């Protein structure tokens, strides 16, 4: 199979866009993620493709509790801000305010909702591992559609 064809087909897989909130001791971090899917009703499990060797991967190995923040359709700029890492200072990642959720991970104040999760397993993959995580808690602040990859010109995949 041609690499270009494979890329085109793989890019037809629909993805959401999320901002993951992580904690390792006193260090807080947020990253953009898209390779996320529900994979069990009971218990409610999610699977996430997470880049090996990334800061977030290391953090999750140290502390399994993290948040998944959902941006609205008009919060493309919010997501863009996390294309590069921001130091958490005075309740903000750069300009973006957050609070600490029940599981200790940072939760973005402006997101339409979030889930609080606990990684149960990190399954070895290729250049990304699969994080199998249980949904422990969450909040829906605004019941509107969330931003998806299709709403943007971005790609992560192929
Ligand atoms: C649109 C978009 C989607 C992304 N999706 C994922 C993803 O699903 N999994 C992942 O590991 N990295 C993903 N990334 C890359 C991470 O955001 C990037 O590697 C991250 O900044 C590295 O994380 P670190 O700060 O923890 O080292 C995505 C990046 C963009 C721009």
pLDDT value of position 44: 98
Tell me how far the alpha carbon of residue 31 lies from the centroid of ligand 1, in angstroms.
Answer: 6
pLDDT value of position 48: 98
Residue 1 placed within a domain = no
CA 41 to chain centre: 20
What percentage of residues in the chain have a pLDDT greater than 90? 100
- 48's enclosing H/E stretch is strand 45-51
pLDDT value of position 40: 98
Q: Which residues, in sequence order, are CB contacts of 122 under 8 Å at separation 6+? A: 50, 57, 60, 61, 129, 130, 131, 132
pLDDT value of position 68: 98
Query: In what side-by-side order are the strands of the sheet with 96-100?
Result: 88-89, 92-93, 96-100, 106-108
Tell me how far the alpha carbon of residue 2 lies from the centroid of ligand 1, in angstroms.
Answer: 25
pLDDT tens column, 15-58: 999 999 999 999 999 999 999 999 999 999 999 999 999 999 99
Name the residue of 17, 27, 32 to mutate for ligand 1: max ligand atoms within 8 A of Cβ: 32
Residue 147 placed within a domain = no
Residue 153 placed within a domain = no
pLDDT value of position 16: 98
Residue 98 placed within a domain = yes
pLDDT tens column, 83-98: 999 999 999 999 999 9
What is the chain's percent helix, strand, coil content, to nearest 5?
15, 45, 35
Question: Which residue's C-alpha comes closest to atom 5 of ligand 1?
Answer: 33
User: SS3 for 107?
Assistant: strand
pLDDT value of position 140: 98
| Residue 145 DSSP label | P
pLDDT value of position 104: 97
pLDDT value of position 63: 98
pLDDT value of position 143: 98
- CA–CA gap between residue 50 and residue 42 (Å, rounded): 23
Residue 150 placed within a domain = no
Domain holding 105, by residue range, is 16-142
Question: Which residue's C-alpha comes closest to atom 16 of ligand 1?
Answer: 32
Residue 4 placed within a domain = no
Domain count, the chain: 1
- CATH number of the domain that residue 38 is part of: 2.30.110.10
Residue 6 placed within a domain = no
């Amino acid at each position: 199979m041609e690499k270009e064809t494979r890329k085109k087909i793989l890019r037809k897989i629909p993805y959401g866009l999320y901002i993951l909130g992580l904690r390792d001791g006193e260090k807080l971090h947020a990253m953009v993620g898209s390779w996320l899917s529900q994979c069990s009703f009971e218990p409610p499990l999610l699977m996430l493709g997470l880049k090996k060797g990334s800061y977030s991967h290391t953090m999750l190995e140290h502390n399994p509790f993290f948040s998944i923040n959902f941006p609205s359709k008009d919060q493309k700029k919010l997501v863009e801000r996390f294309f590069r890492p921001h130091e958490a200072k005075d309740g903000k990642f750069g300009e973006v305010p957050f609070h600490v959720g029940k599981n200790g991970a940072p939760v973005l104040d402006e997101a339409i909702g979030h889930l609080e999760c606990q990684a149960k397993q990190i399954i070895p993959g290729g250049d990304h591992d699969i994080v199998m995580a249980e949904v422990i808690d969450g909040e829906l602040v605004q019941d509107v559609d969330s931003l998806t990859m299709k709403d943007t010109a971005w790609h992560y995949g192929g």
